[in-house]
Structure 1
Amino acid sequence: MQFTFPETLPDLLPFMAGVASLLYGLAALFAPRLMLRMLHLGPVGPSIAGLSEVRAMLAGFPLGSGLVMLFFYDQPLLQIMLGSAWLFVAFGRLVSILSDEASTIANWCLLLLHLALAAACLAPAFGLVQA
């Protein structure tokens, strides 16, 4: 299998969303405490077991899906998979903003970022972006 870099916009968008997912996953994997501080979260109690959850869920899934997207960025089903994952992340954030009184500038900016990552994957998959 030969790795090639994307040359067209429909290939570049999901590739860059994969890079963003990969970077997010790497940050959560190697700096879980920093990730918690950035998200304004903290461990509950004296146990550090929550760090394994950060490394597993906040790092593992985006790291794995982002890495796969880097190699198979031109596959529509993978574009739909990663795009729908980011879309549901955005949906969860919107529900939190509306129901948990979490309407902060940081949450709105992250919502826009998640929507942009979802659109970067879904637009080429559905033919909304042409070369």
Structure 2
Amino acid sequence: MEFYIPTETGELLAFLAAIASGLLGLFTLFAPGTALRLAGLQLREATREGLAFVRSAGGFHAGLSIVALLVAQSWIYMAIGGGFALAAFGRILSLMSDRSFTARNLAVLLVQAVLAGCMLGYVFELF
């Protein structure tokens, strides 16, 4: 099995989005406390179970991304892109209903939308 690096623009964007997603997942996996602080959550009573939950969520993102990089199939890009699209939708709902309209939330929304757009744009042949 050889590692495939795409050459066409759309697939390369999806590939790079998978790399970014994997790096975010690895960061959350290995530095859950820092990831929580960057997300705006305070760790007053960080329990082992809470940190385990955050680590496992990071591992899930990293694992999906690594599989996407290894198999280079459009269906896995669709799965990750769909996940990021729904995460961005949830953030938009939070901006509207929770009144959480902050620069940090807008920045994360932008990252989620770009990652979803890169992956889903390739899958649906928009570029």
Q: Same fold judged by TM-score > 0.5?
A: yes
Partner of 1:62: 61
Partner of 2:39: 39
Partner of 1:102: 100
Deviation at 1:46, TM superposition (A): 5.7
**Identical amino acids, percent of aligned pairs:** 36
How many residue pairs get aligned? The number is: 127
> Residue 46 and residue 91 in structure 1: after superposition, are their counterparts in 2 closer, same or farther (change >3 A)?
closer
2: CA distance, partners of 1:30 / 1:15: 23
> Residue 45 and residue 107 in structure 1: after superposition, are their counterparts in 2 closer, same or farther (change >3 A)?
same
1:1-131 matches, within 5 Å, as: 1-43=1-43, 45=45, 47-57=47-57, 59-73=58-72, 75-129=73-127
2: CA distance, partners of 1:68 / 1:14: 13
> Residue 62 and residue 124 in structure 1: after superposition, are their counterparts in 2 closer, same or farther (change >3 A)?
same
Q: What residue identity is the alignment partner of 1:65?
A: L
| TM-score normalized by the length of structure 2 | 0.93
Asked whether the equivalents of residues 37 and 43 of structure 2 are also in contact (C-alpha less than 8 Å), the reply is no
1: CA distance, partners of 2:27 / 2:120: 24
CA-based RMSD: 1.3
Asked whether the equivalents of residues 3 and 71 of structure 1 are also in contact (C-alpha less than 8 Å), the reply is yes
* Deviations, residues 80-109 of structure 1 (Å, cap 9, x unaligned): 111101101101111111111110011011
| TM-score normalized by the length of structure 1 | 0.90
2: CA distance, partners of 1:61 / 1:83: 14
Q: What residue identity is the alignment partner of 1:67?
A: I
2: CA distance, partners of 1:29 / 1:103: 27
